[in-house]
Amino acid sequence: MKSYKVLKEEINQPSEQLIEDVMTILAIRECDSEELYEAFDQDMDLLAEGVTDSIGGIAKNVGGLISKGLGKVGGHAHKGTGLIGYLMKAGKGVGKLMLATLKGDWETAKEIANTEVDKGELLDFLLKLDTATMHLVTGPIHTLDAITGWHIGAKIEHAIQGKDAVIAKIKGAISTIRQSIGDVVDKARQSLFNKGMDKLEAEIG
């Protein structure tokens, strides 16, 4: 029988998918907004045409950092099950709203929120995420709330059980990436990614 200490360590151990989702957010924040939105629109058009193997399209906009980097931080692509997969399944409006929110492109986020998406659609998307990934995006969601007046952040935080363990998992994922950052990006970009991880840590509390 496993001891409580061993079980606790396993519970707090970040999954490969969470590591990928952290890397995905970092990469999204680094890439060009217009190129990112254009790639997302193109992928959504492909999905509408029945071409289902288009989830990697967003990764192409960040110079292959997501697809190339994942294997080097202890994970591999889980197409359709991670953050990008959920974005693709959410539909064009919610997906692009989340991309704008994660990037901090508040002008675009506000425009989409006012014209294409209602808060119920966004809340439904967020509640389908893995618990740790859901908490990972609460920081930007609170800012979106301030812009839209939706108050979604409080609702998703209420849905997160065992918040301390969730935060420990996210910090574990960030720590894993920090240890492998030299294998993921070149030296010129390591500083940018480290600053991005500092920001993520501040957002999760």
pLDDT tens readout for residues 16-40: 788 888 888 887 887 778 878 887 8
7 is a domain residue: no
- pLDDT of residue 112 exceeding 90, the answer is yes
203 is a domain residue: no
pLDDT, residue 51, reads 61
199 is a domain residue: no
Q: What angle do CA 177, 132, 157 make, to 5 degrees?
A: 135
CA separation for the pair 72, 63 (Å, rounded): 15
71 is a domain residue: yes
CA separation for the pair 109, 104 (Å, rounded): 8
5 is a domain residue: no
Task: Work out how many domains the chain is built from and give that number.
Answer: 1
Q: What angle do CA 103, 117, 60 make, to 5 degrees?
A: 40
Q: What angle do CA 79, 50, 16 make, to 5 degrees?
A: 5
201 is a domain residue: no
pTM of the model: 0.80
Query: Is-contact 102 29, C-beta < 8 A?
Result: yes
